[in-house]
Structure 1
Amino acid sequence: MRISTNAIIRNYKSNLAASIANLNVSRNHVMTQRSFNSVSENPASAARASQLHRKYYKNLDNLNTLSDVQSRQDGQEDALMQISNAIKTISADYNIQAMSGDKQTPETRQTFATALRQFQKTMVLSLNSTYEDTFLFAGADGKNPPFTLSEDGKALTYRGINVDAAAGSDELNELTRLSKETLYVDLGLGLSLDGADRVVPSSAFNLSLPGIKAIGYGQDANGNSNNVIVLAGKLADALEKDDFDTDAYGELMNKFKDLGSNVLNEVTNLGVKSEFLNTTKDRLENNDISLQEQMLKVEGMDPAEAITDYMWNQYAYNAALKVGTSILSPSFIDFMK
C-alpha cells in the first residue's frame, strides 16, 4: 500500500497537536495541583466536587452566622450582668439597715432616692443596648428601642405597653405573648418546618431574648409590680415620703431581691446557650476540615504523580519534534525543476 507524503504529514500534525494538548494538560495539573480543570476531563469527579463545594460554603456560612450569634449573645450577657450588679448594689447599699439610726434622715433618704432613680436609667440603657444596628432585648423587633422610662421613673413601657399591667388585662396578655417571641437562625442543625410551616425548635437556634422575660412584668396578688426597674422606682418613692414606713420599704426590698434572682437566672441560661454555641462551633469546624479533605481527595493531584506525568509528556513532545525533522526531510519533488 502506498502512503503519500501528504498523509504522513497530516497524521504527524494530528499526533503533534495531541502531544501538545497532553503536555498543556499535565502542565496545568502541576501548576494548579488539581486532577482536573474542566468538567469534560472528569465528569464524575466534577459532579462530586460540586456537591462538596456546596456543602463547604454552606458550612462556612453557618460558621459566620454562629460567630455573629455569639457576639450578639455576649452583648446580651454583658448587659444583663450590668443590671444584675446594679441590683446587687441596691440590695446591699440601699437596704433598710443602711438607713437606720443617725443616717435615717429625710436628706439622706432623698440622696438614696436620687441614686435609685439613676440606677433605673442605667438599667434601661443596658436593656436598650444594641449589637450593630439591632436592639438586643427587643424580641423579634430589633429595629426600635424596646424600653422607655418616664421622666419621673414611675412608668416603664416595653414596645409601647406599660410593663406594670394589671392581672387579666389585654396589656398583660400582650406582654405575655411578647415575652415568648422567638427569632430562629439556621446553624446547620437541619432546619425544618412542622405541618403549620413553623420552625421546629430543635432544628434551629433561638437568639431572641425579650427584655421583659428577664426583668419581669405585671403585678402580684398585692398589686405590687413584678418588674425590677419599676420596683426600684417604688423604693425611691418610699424613701421620698415624709412619713417613711420602714416595714413597707423592707417588704419592697425583699421583693426587689427576689426579682433580681430572675435576672441572674437569665444570665445562667445565656451561659448554657453559650456552651451550646461553643459545641456547635467545634462541630462546624470539624466539618470544615472534613470537607476540605474530601475535596482534596476528589480534586487534588499528587505532586509527584503530576510532575512525573508532566515530564513524560514533555519527553513525548520533544520526541515528536525530532521525528518531525525526518518526516519533513527533502523529497524527490524538491529536486524537480
Structure 2
Amino acid sequence: MRITTNAILRDYKSNLSTSINNLNISRTHVMTQRSFNSTAEDPASAARASQLHRKYYKNQDNIKMLQDVQNRQDCQEDALRQVSDMVTNISKNYNLQALNGTNKTPEVRQSYASAIRQFQQSMVLSLNSSYEDTFLFAGSDGKNPPFNLTSEGTLTYRGVDINANMGSADYDKLKKMSNENLYVDLGMGLAMDDFDQVVSSSAFNMSLPGINAVGYGNDEKGMSNNLITIAGKLADTLEAETFDADQFGDLMNKFDLLGKNLMNQITELGVKSEFLTTTKDRLDNAEISIQEQMSSVEGVDMAEAISNYMWDQYAYNAALKVGTSILSPSFIDFMR
C-alpha cells in the first residue's frame, strides 16, 4: 500500500483539528466550571438542568412575592396598631375623666368631644393607608380609598353605609365584602376546585377588609358595631346640652369591646406574619437544595477538569511538534 504525502497531510490536519477541538472544550469546561455548554454534549443532563432552572426561577418568584406580601402585611399591622393606640388613648383618658363630677362642665366636655373627633378622623386616615398603589384595607378593590367619613358623621365602606341594619341589602353587601379573599401563590401548590375557585390551603390570603377590624352593622339593641361610629357617638354625647352619663358609659363599654376585636385582628396578623416567616425559611432552603442539584448536574470537578485541560494542552503541543516532521526530506530532495 502506497502512502502519499497528500494522504499524510490530510490525516494530520484532521487529527490536529480534533486536538484543537478537544483543547477548546476542556478549556471551556475550566473557565465556565460547567460539565457541558451545549445540549449536544449531554442531552440527558441538559434536559434535567432545564427542569431545575425552571424550578429555581419559580422559587425566586415565590420569594419575591412573599417579601412583597410581608411588607404589605407589616404596613397593615402598623396601621391597625395606630388605630389601637387611639382606641386605648380614648378609653384611658376620656372615660373616667368624662364621668368625673369635676369634668362635667360644657367647656370641658366640648374639649373632650373635639379630641375624640380628631381621633375619629385619624382612624379613618390610618384605615385608608396604602402600600405602593394599593389601599391596604379595601379588600379586592385596592384602587379606591375604602372609608369615607362625611361632615354629618356618616361612615361608608366602599360607598355602603357601614351601619346598615341586619337583613338589609346594604348589610348583605357589607357581609359579602367582609368575606372577600385575595390569594397569592407562595409555592404551596396553587390548586383550583371543581368550581374554579382557589383551594384556600394551597395559597395565601392577603386580603384584610377594614370592616373586619373595626366592625360593621348594628347589634340587637340598635347600637353600632363600628368602632369609628361609636367614637363619634361618644363625642355627640359629650356635646349634648344635658350630659347622659349612663348613655356615655354604655357607649364606652361598647367601644372597649370593639377595641378588643381590633386587637384580635392584630393578633391574627401576627400569626400570619409567623406563617410567612416559616414559609420564607422553607423557600430559602428549597433554593439551596435546587442550587446543589444544579451544581451536581451542570457543575464540573475542577481537579478533573484541570487535569483534562493539561492533558489536551500536552496532546496539542505534541501534535504541533509532529507537524514539523511531516515534511521531512522526500524523494524530490534527492533528485538532481
Matching of residues 1-337 of structure 1 within 5 Å: 1-152=1-152, 154-333=153-332
Query: Could you report, residue by residue, the CA deviation over 1:114-161 in whole angstroms, capped at 9, with x for unpaired residues?
Result: 011100110001100011111000001111111101124x21110000
Unaligned runs of 5+ in 1: none
AA matched with 2:80:
L
RMSD: 1.0
Shift of 1:96: 3.8
Query: Does the 8 Å CA contact 1:135/1:145 hold for their aligned counterparts?
Result: yes
Question: Partner of 1:86: helix, strand, or coil?
Answer: helix
Deviation at residue 335 of structure 1 after TM alignment: 5.8
For the 8 Å contact 1:120–1:232, the answer to whether it is kept is: yes
Which digits, 9 at most, give the CA deviation of each residue in 1:29-80, with x for residues without a partner? 1111111111111111100100000000000100000000000000000011
TM-score by length of 2: 0.98
Would you say the 8 A contact 2:99–2:245 is kept in 1? Answer: no
Asked if 2 retains the 8 angstrom alpha-carbon contact of 1:96 and 1:246, the reply is no
Q: Say if 1:135 and 1:142, in contact at 8 Å, map to a contact too.
A: yes
Secondary structure of 2:223 counterpart: coil
Query: Are the aligned partners of 2:217 and 2:226 in contact in 1 as well (CA < 8 Å)?
Result: yes
Question: Tell me, what secondary structure is at the counterpart of 2:156?
Answer: strand
Q: CA deviation at 1:336?
A: 5.4
* CA drift at 1:98: 4.0
Tell me by how many angstroms 1:239 deviates: 0.5
- TM-score where L is the length of structure 1: 0.98
Note closer, same or farther for the CA distance 1:171–1:225 as it changes in structure 2 (3 Å cut): same
Amino acid of the structure 2 residue aligned with 1:5: T
Q: What's the CA shift for 1:301?
A: 0.8
- Structure-1 separation of matches of 2:51 and 2:44: 11
The question of whether the paired residues in 1 share the 8 Å contact of 2:155 and 2:161 is answered with: yes
Report the secondary structure of 1:157's partner residue. strand
Give the Cα–Cα distance (whole angstroms) in 2 for the partners of residues 69 and 259 of structure 1. Answer: 27
Q: How far apart are 1:97 and its partner, in Å? A: 4.0
Moved more, 229-238 or 99-108: 99-108
Structure 2 runs not aligned, ≥5 long: none
- The answer (yes or no) to whether the contact 2:98–2:109 under 8 Å persists in 1 is no
Say if 1:96 and 1:249, in contact at 8 Å, map to a contact too: no
Tell me if structure 1 keeps the 8 A contact 2:90–2:116.
Answer: yes
Number of equivalences: 336
Moved more, 117-126 or 90-99: 90-99
